[in-house]
Each structure stands twice: as C-alpha cells, then as structure tokens.
Structure 1
Amino acid sequence: MQSSKRQMQHFYTEDFFKELQEDSRQSAEEIVPVLLEMIPCNKLIDVGCGDGTWLKVFQKHGVKEILGIDGSYVNEKNLVIPKDNFIPFDLTKPLKIDKQFDIVMSLEVAEHLPAECAESFVDSLTSLGSVILFSAAIPEQTGENHINEQWQEYWAEKFQKRGYIAIDYVRQKIWSNKKVAFWYSQNILIFIQQQHFENNPVMKSKFEDYVVTDPSSLSMVHPMLYLMKLGKIDWLEKKNLKKTSPLHKISIISKILRAF
C-alpha cells in the first residue's frame, strides 16, 4: 500500500494538475450553467477534485457549500478553493461521510483507480447523494496513469445495479462545443436515484426525454479523439494554440478545420 501511495505521488505532480487546470476551468464554465439550469444545488461534493477548479466554478455560479476530496498527493498550497473545503483521502478505499449532497460529482477519476476498486468507488458516490455527475475515460482514450479505462456502459450498469438511472442530457448540450475538452463531451453523464427521480415531478419533467434504459447505447467516441487516433489532429498543438505565433496559429487552425 505504501508503494501504491508513492506511485500516486509520482503520477499526480504539480505539473499534472497545472496541465489540466485550463481545460478543466474552461470546460466547467460551459458545463456548470447547463447543469444548474436543470438541477438546483446548494451542497456539492467533488470526489477526485484535484486543485478544486470545478468546485470554484460551481461556487462562482451560486453553489453555497462545496467540499473536495482527493489524495494526499494534492499539494494544498495549490488549491483554488479554501483548505477548509478540502479533505485528503485515499480514493481506493470506501469513502464514508455522514452527509448528503444535492450533487455528487466525479469527473475523469475512476479510470485512475484499480479495477478491483470500481464497485466500492461507485458505492462511495451513491452513498453521498441521489444525483451524480460522472465521467470516466473510455478504452484507448489514454492519459496519465489510466489503469481502468472502460466504456460508458460499464459504469452505467454499476449505477443501474444500485437503483440509479442514466440521464444523457449534458452530452447533447455540449457535444460540439469547442470550448469543452473532448473527454467531458464524450463521457459526462448524470445518474439519478430512481425513487428520487420518481418523487420529483419537476426533475422528471425536465429529464424524461433523456433517460437511457439501454446502457450499451451510451458508449461512444468523440470525433476529436477519433481524429487524434487517426493522426489527423495533434491535441498538444490544439492546446498550445494561444501560446504560438500568429503564422503558426493559422497553420494549426487550418489543419484542425481540414480534419473536421
């Protein structure tokens, strides 16, 4: 277990979180209003929060109470939320908090945990609230320490076993939004506890057209990832667009547009 902790610290360095921050912030600025328009939220927990970028955006949009959970590899000096709103915790272990939240979120985290932790991780999320915002990397998405990449249906089936229904609402609203990192556009889903859904007529009326009964229909690949795998797009080039010279910028934009 000690060697596993050292390995996590090796992967999740300050550079790792800095690299993710801008993609996360920009994506959150697009996704958070879409979600809050449909689901009122005063209390939010982010399991695998990193430096708290998503929590900060939710707070900016009016969520009063936020809590972030992540490993001790997160340097608290780099948090963009107050330290009092962060709890260091080993996410490979079951998480027990005696509190319920309006939204439980965990984005692009589950693929970093061993496959044998998948069931207990979903148990942890469902123990914290009736509405879950979730995404995790699909096979061949690739990334730092992705050790359990699975299709979207894999996770949907686990939530379904615990009485949660899949709502494919957010993806339909952001799929073609170039400001959103493709992994969120591709993977992000809402899971709502069935009884909570049935007992909330307002929520039900908002989401009834987006309920997914067949989890296998959730598995899909975003065009950006597909084109990257074909070598048509260089994601690093796209990410570094703001830092490059005007002439090189024109060249990169032309390349991306040709790929689409």
Structure 2
Amino acid sequence: MSGGPDTTRYDAGFYADQVEGSARAAAVVLPLVCGPLRPTRVLDVGCGQGAWLAEAARLGATQLTGLDGPWVDTAALRSPRIAFHPTDLAAPLPDHGRHDLVISVEVAEHLPAARADGFVADLCRAGDVVLFSAAVPHQGGTEHVNEERTSRWAARFDAHGFDAFDVVRGAVWDDVRVAWWYRQNAVVYVARSSAHHATFSALPQPVPRDLVHPEAFEAKVSWLEADRARLAAQIARPTLRQAIGALRRALWRALGGGAR
C-alpha cells in the first residue's frame, strides 16, 4: 500500500485507513480471480483485518486462513470465519496446508530484502495460484523497506515454476473503486504444473510487466511539491540572528547613526 512520508508501525489508525479501501478493492479484484478458480480454501498472508478473506467468503470460500503480526486486533476481523494466526512474516512461514488461492497484497515491501526470495517460496508452497501485489520503487508508504519492480518479483515466482498472468491490472486500471497501488501492482501467479494454468492462459494479458499508474505519479509529485513548499517557507523565514541584525540596523538608522 502507499501513503505520504513514512511513519511507524501498524496501529489502529493505520488499519482504519486501510481496511475500507481493501474491502472496496477486494470486491472488484477477487471476482476476476475467483471466477475462473472457484476457491474454497483461501490463505491471506499479511491479512490485516481480513477484508480480502471476507470477500473471498462472499464468493464461496469456506476455509479462511489469515496470517499477520500480533498487533492485529482479532475482535476487528471482518469475518468470524477467519482462522487468524499471529505470525512473524519476516521469518519462514509455518505450514498451514495447501490452499486453492493464496493472497498477499502490498505486504512484501514491508519485509527485509533478504526475506524476498524465501517469502515467495513460502507463498508458492502454500498453493498453486497466488494473487500478489507489492510496491514498486519510489512508491512510498508506511515502513516500506524493500520496493522492487514487478518484473523482479515475477522472476522469483518463475524460479519456482510459476507464470505471471496479468488478468487484473488491465481490467481495473481505470476503476477508481480500486486504490491505485492495486491497479498498478496486482498480478496472478499460477504454477505451470497446475490444472488452472490453462484457464488463466486463455484470459487476456493486455499490459506490460513494469507499470507506474498515473495516480501514483501524481501522488508522488504532490508530496514533493508539499516538501518543496515547506522548504521554501523555511528558507524565506528569517532566523533570529538575522531578525536581530535587521532590528539593530533599523534602530541605528532611526537614531541617526552613520549620518554623513
């Protein structure tokens, strides 16, 4: 996900801002994936309050598993059917079995770069179909520590026998119900050995791999403009020493000092 200048940890305010946007995005994006897949077992790695899992349940999933840090308030989960497991995502993930669909959206950028290869390996072990979205370089956001190009993530999945299918981004590119970071970054990865590979191969693939959404560009420019305005104001504001000096010169002139 994205936002303004980096802040700290994922508190209640972070999730309050994030969960409604996630719910809106899930309602648009998941039917594109679940339609051809019809998953019953869904795992969300970095689930937050479970907005994506709740939407998966609405689409027919019956086994919902969510992994995220211990700071998640389980009383605020979006569905009582979610089996939530507090998990350190920066460490190898515990085995929770195989799933029809694995979701991890705007999570990987929050993990150390050294964790990237292992994180993708964990996702691939958990299921044959992965809906994955991660921040691209310079996207910005809360505690983003590893922003990488989509093509770099695709190469990692490829190393585990998964192909990238761009069935989401082209379909939602102009859909304002979906936050721009999902429109920019969401890709489906499917194991080449999976029966679902042929299904996703038949779907349109209209966009190149590495993309920057215009709204991402506009947001970044807005942040830079705001920073520039603050800096300009600081430069224009006289320092205390300058102000005292100007006052002394004015008094000196008023008292006739320096008259020739």
Is the Cα–Cα contact under 8 Å of residues 165 and 211 in structure 1 kept in the other structure? no
User: Which of 148, 157, 160 is 2:158 aligned to?
Assistant: 160
Is structure 2 residue 41 aligned with structure 1 residue 50? no
Match of 2:102, SS? strand
Q: CA deviation at 1:205?
A: 4.4
Is the Cα–Cα contact under 8 Å of residues 166 and 211 in structure 1 kept in the other structure? no
Higher share in helix: 1
2:245 alignment counterpart: none
Is the Cα–Cα contact under 8 Å of residues 76 and 83 in structure 1 kept in the other structure? no
* Change beyond 3 A, Cα 1:77–1:83: farther
Q: 1:94-133 counterparts in 2 under 5 A?
A: 94-133=92-131
Is structure 2 residue 67 aligned with structure 1 residue 69? yes
Q: 1:204-243 counterparts in 2 under 5 A?
A: 204-208=198-202, 210=204, 217-231=208-222
Matched length: 218
Determine the C-alpha separation between the residues in 1 that align with 2:86 and 2:61.
Answer: 22
Q: Which amino acid aligns with 1:207?
A: S
Determine the C-alpha separation between the residues in 1 that align with 2:21 and 2:43.
Answer: 20
Q: CA deviation at 1:207?
A: 2.5
Determine the C-alpha separation between the residues in 2 that align with 1:99 and 1:74.
Answer: 22
User: Which of 174, 178, 193 is 1:180 aligned to?
Assistant: 178
Q: CA deviation at 1:170?
A: 0.9
- Over the matched positions of the two proteins, sequence identity in percent amounts to 34
Q: CA deviation at 1:98?
A: 4.7
Q: CA deviation at 1:83?
A: 7.4
Greater relative contact order (CA < 8 Å, ≥ 6 in sequence):
2
Coordinate RMSD, CA, aligned? 2.2
Is the Cα–Cα contact under 8 Å of residues 165 and 200 in structure 2 kept in the other structure? no
Deviates more, 1:141-150 or 1:27-36: 27-36
The structure having more radius of gyration, on CA atoms, is 2
Is the Cα–Cα contact under 8 Å of residues 38 and 60 in structure 2 kept in the other structure? no
Is the Cα–Cα contact under 8 Å of residues 169 and 184 in structure 2 kept in the other structure? yes
1:41 alignment counterpart: 39
Q: CA deviation at 1:217?
A: 4.0
Normalised by the size of structure 1, how large is the TM-score? 0.78
Q: Structure 2: any 5+ residue segments left out of the alignment?
A: 1-7, 226-260
Q: CA deviation at 1:76?
A: 1.8
> What are the superposed Cα offsets for residues 146-196 of structure 1, whole Å, 9 maximum, x if unpaired?
000111011101001111100011111111111110000000000011111
Is the Cα–Cα contact under 8 Å of residues 53 and 82 in structure 2 kept in the other structure? no
* Change beyond 3 A, Cα 1:119–1:205: closer
2:167 alignment counterpart: 169
Q: Which amino acid aligns with 2:47?
A: C
Match of 1:231, SS? helix
